[in-house]
Structure 1
């Protein structure tokens, strides 16, 4: 499944590199890995060129010469069997390493593909971009503050993730099953290259490392990590629902979320986080 931000490609400026020639060692056959062959790489770099256009300052834009050198160096220093793998890892490294790069369309062509038939070229073309997601954190067993601190740190250590904002920690009464200790809750804003299912897998891993056991629904837990929003997508899977199905009903979610993203709109209800929180508070 492909996930696209609400901000479309037409909303970005573009810098294009077309058919950069790179001699590298990628392919399924051993001779391709040893002898190497020519590849043609094309890239569309989505960024904001406004400041560079107003100031004539190269440092305010993406240097296409440096990008070309980056592509060449990466492809020469790594060896993969599949073009899909080359494209995926190269796109990821470019997004992580190149300042101001929001999205990339990357195509890698293989003119000398050894298929034994008259073939001009084969290629793999992918689009990858940064996504913005909001995560809810909660704990009510043991040293809850330490659990939340460690969760924020571990999320930030995921190679394709950057924690951009973290709310204050909020002490709240338990929800659902009320015969349990108070919770410590928070929310964070995350910039990620992971797709939702991939991110969920990482969050479940961090929960498990904190000793999380899923025994009682809404019961006590050392650590609870939930994906609240992911760009503006609406996703319904067996194990994942985005937006989080009950976030608009929970003040302990909306209060810390309003601290870091008060004007973020719910993609289904169209209301801002602050508006949803005010509606709950008005009912108390």
Structure 2
């Protein structure tokens, strides 16, 4: 049961190499993606016990997120962000996850510094593909 107090745990700038994108050259050559995570977690149990088992092990989570980004190419960063949020929500202590996917080398014919997509998913959100029309 949630006490209503949610703290935020962030891991920013996770660099991963993936083969995501709409264009053939993106899937073939790959590129760097940078992931920012902010998780809604009640940190009081860990603060009281001073025990890693009572909180989200962000070192392990980063490994899981990196694996999710480096496997199975997809076309859209929307799909990639949803995958990463799903990984974060596997830990039952995570009440919500805010995921930003940076694609700094996106194939755009203009000078730009970054392309980002940020999504927020809650533990009790309906899974993708389960909305109206999917019974």
TM over 0.5: yes
- For these two proteins, the number of residue pairs brought into alignment is 131
> Which protein shows a greater Rg?
1
1:156-167 pair list within 5 angstroms: none
Runs (4+) off by over 2 Å: 197-202
Match of 1:50 among 44, 48, 52: 44
Offset of 1:94 from its aligned partner?
2.4
- 2: CA distance, partners of 1:21 / 1:199: 32
Aligned equivalents of 1:113, 1:34: Cα separation in 2: 14
Question: What does residue 39 of structure 1 align with?
Answer: 33
Cα contact 2:19–2:26 (8 A) shared by 1? yes
TM, length-normalised to structure 2: 0.89
- Where does the alignment leave 5 or more consecutive residues of structure 1 unmatched? 1-6, 132-192, 206-284
Residues 38 and 112 in structure 1, CA contact (< 8 A), matched pair in contact too? yes
Task: Give the corresponding residue for 1:123.
Answer: 116
Q: Deviations over 1:234-253 (max 9, x none)?
A: xxxxxxxxxxxxxxxxxxxx
The alpha carbon displacement at 1:93 in A equals 3.2
Alignment partner, residue 113 of structure 1: 106
Give the conservation status (yes or no) of the 8 Å contact 1:41–1:108.
Answer: yes
- Please say if residues 62 and 99 of structure 1, whose CA atoms lie closer than 8 Å, have aligned partners that are also in contact: no
**Contact 1:12–1:47 (CA<8 Å) still a contact in 2?**
yes
Report the Cα offset of residue 86 of structure 1.
0.6
TM-score w.r.t. length of structure 1: 0.44
Tell me which residue corresponds to 2:59: 65
Larger helix fraction of residues: 1
For structure 2, list consecutive stretches of 5 or more residues without a partner in the other structure: none
Superposition RMSD on alpha carbons, in Å?
Answer: 1.8
**How many Å apart are 1:90 and its aligned residue?**
1.9
Counterpart pick for 1:194 among 119, 126, 130: 126
